Every structure is written in C-alpha cells, then in structure tokens.
Amino acid sequence: MGWFPCSGPSKQTSKKKNSVDSGRHSTDKLKSKNSLRSKEVDKDAGSNQIAAKTFIFRDLAAATKNFRGDYLLGEGGFGRVYKGVIESNQVVAIKQLDRNGLQGNREFLVEVLMLSLLHHPNLVNLIGYCADGDQRLLVYEYMPLGSLEDHLHVGLNLELKYCSADPTPGKERLDWNTRMKIAAGAAKGLEYLHSASPPVIYRDLKCSNILLGEGYHAKLSDFGLAKLGPVGDNTHVSTRVMGTYGYCAPEYAMTGQLTLKSDVYSFGVVLLEIITGRKAIESSKTGGDFNLARPLFKDRRKFSQMADPMLQGHYPVRGMYQALAVAAMCVQEQPNMRPVIADVVTALTYLASQKFDHETRGGIQTSRPGPATSPRMKRW
C-alpha cells in the first residue's frame, strides 16, 4: 500500500500519472486484455477469462455506509480502506484510490490484471473492482487477523494495512511455530509467482503486505508494483527503481536491473523481521538508519541474541539457527549467491513442521519423524 523509491522517501508530484480518461479507456480493456498466459499461470482455474466482478460505485458506497468513518480500516499510499458488506452478507475490504495519491491508474490496472489471472491459496483474493467514472476501487476478501506487521511490531505501527482486522489493542506477539508457518506460507505465494509463465516479480514484499487469515494463514497482497520477469535468454528486466526502503535488493536499487533474486532478497529481510522482531529500517541512536539485513551476520557468536525478546526464550535454538541460515543466504549481496525461492520453501516447510513445545519437552523441538537436519538449499 505505502511505497516509495528504494533510494529513499518519495516525493509526491503534482501531476497525476495518468489522466482519468486514460485510466477509464484502459480499464475498459480489462476483460479482453491478457498480459499473462492464463492457462499456464493458473493451472487450477480452467479458464482464461478475468474472474473479478465489476461493481458500480453506488453499491460500494452502500456497502460501507457511504464510507463512514467507523468503517475505516486504514490509510496508505493508495488511499483509504474500508470494511464493507456486499450481497449475501459477505464481509470485504474496499480500497479506494486517492486521486491525488502516489499510486495511480497504472498500479490499479496492474493489480486487477495480476489478481484476476493469478490464483493461489497464499495470494489474497480479489473479488472485484470499480472503475465508475473517475472512481477507482478494489474489493478484496477480508483478512480478519490483519497484517504480519500488525503482530510483529505491536504498538509501533502508524498505518493499518488494507484487508486488516478492526483495530484492537493488546494483540499478542506471535509464537515460534506461528512465525515459521507464516514464513513458509509467504514463501509459497512467492514461489507461485516465480513459477508462472512468464514469471512475475512481486517487487514489494514486506511485512505489511503479508496478510493473515484464520489460523494465521499468510497471503501476499498489494500487486500494483508487480512486473513480468525476464524470459528466454534475458537475465533481467530494466525498470524504474520502486519498492520500499530497506527491502530492496542492493543491485536493483543501484542499477534498476530487476530479477527473481530481487524478491528473494526482500523475502530474506522479511524473514529476519520474523525472527528478530525488529523492523527492516530503524533509526539509530547515533543518527542515521540501522539496516537489519547488513550487520547482523558479522558475529556468529551473537546469533543467540538475535531472537525476538518477545519470544521469551520459547524457541528451538537449532531451528532458530537454521532459520537464520536461510535468511542469511537470501540477503547475500551477490544475487547469484542467493537461493531460488523453491529451495527456501523446502527449508521453511521443514522448519514449520517441527513443532516446538517448551512446556512438555523443556524447550526441546518435537516433530513427526523426518530428516535429522533441514534440507540443504541450492545456491541458484
């Protein structure tokens, strides 16, 4: 939702990215345009038709009681997000484009196309959209547990994420088992994008874009910055550097050359946040910013100090070291040294299966029979 160039905070321009007429003309093409080969991208949906429903503005205004203040869930770069109830009493999250905001018609169109053609249990479900006159709105499934950021950084968030639950104080911190389940789920969503044909580069992976459903089921959201990846002999796509400061891969931030490994780096930062409970970028006491991905791995003797203090020591030491090893590989400076996301999924699925119970086994990891160590990952 909120995004800005990787090189630093954004500067809002006075000109809109696209005129309303241009956006309306492009939106009229949504049902006929298919920028992805749908049959290959979505193996489960046996149709190449865009499934998202079109809404008229009047119906969405009624669903939110005319966008009443007590229906507001949050606000970000796109605009405001409201809780709503549509036909059949279905609860939804309705994201309304701020016509003076940073994200414009292009991002609106990209998100509608991507989420209409890509379907996976770990991607948020787009129910429909509205392009009525100059109004631009997106209708999503409602995610009752909010975002990963809401739970990791309790009390530190100034912005609620769309599709998030109603603001409730005193949310409990996530335990170790839940953190590994969320990490594995997010990785599976990213793996699905990377395995599409052509592959999709998410480009804005961060904790606030990982939404949580019942049972802490993780889903990736906010696809306005998604980009089709390189095909054939191409090694990268060149594009304007966009994303969120602290999550961008260094080579992408410097050159604008985007690859699947750029997403892997971002995932590594998210995994570090999950393990440590710290934010990707924090202001240091000496002035300047502390970048979570850079200094943490210099001294392996301090690994035991890196677990989130809110876990209160209730985590498997061996499992924590293995999770840190995965994160360390993901945030390698050189992209060719990072693993492919499929190997990350294998490792995290294994860690998520190792159920930790500090009460019954005195802090010893318990699991169903499996390998003695986590699967080894390929570097590329």
Residues 205 and 214: their CA atoms lie apart, in Å, by 21
Q: 37: how many CB neighbours lie within 10 A of its CB?
A: 13
Peptide bond into 198 cis (omega under 30): yes
Q: Tokens at residue 23, please?
A: 């956006």
Q: Which amino acid is at 358?
A: H
Q: Is 269 left (phi over 0), alpha (psi -120 to 50) or beta?
A: alpha
Name the active-site residue from 204, 222, 263, 308. Answer: 204
Q: Please report the DSSP string for 24-67 in residue order.
A: HHHHHTTTT--SS-HHHH-SSS---S--PEE--HHHHHHHTTTT
Q: Is 372 left (phi over 0), alpha (psi -120 to 50) or beta?
A: alpha
Those residues whose C-beta lies under 8 Å from the C-beta of residue 333, and which sit 6 or more positions away, are 250
Residues 200 and 280: their CA atoms lie apart, in Å, by 24
Coil vs helix vs strand at 156: coil
Residues 88 and 126: their CA atoms lie apart, in Å, by 17
Residues 20 and 283: their CA atoms lie apart, in Å, by 39
Answer yes or no: are the C-beta atoms of 268 and 330 closer than 8 Å: yes
Catalytic status, residue 59: no
Q: Which amino acid is at 347?
A: A
What is the dihedral sign for C-alpha 42, 44, 48, 49?
A: negative
Q: Which amino acid is at 157?
A: N
Residue 95 annotated as lining a ligand binding site: yes
Answer yes or no: are the C-beta atoms of 221 and 211 closer than 8 Å: yes
72 to 3, 155, 160, 292: CA distances (angstroms) = 20, 19, 10, 32
Residues annotated within the binding site are 95
Q: Which active-site residues does the annotation give?
A: 204
Residues annotated within the binding site for ATP are 95
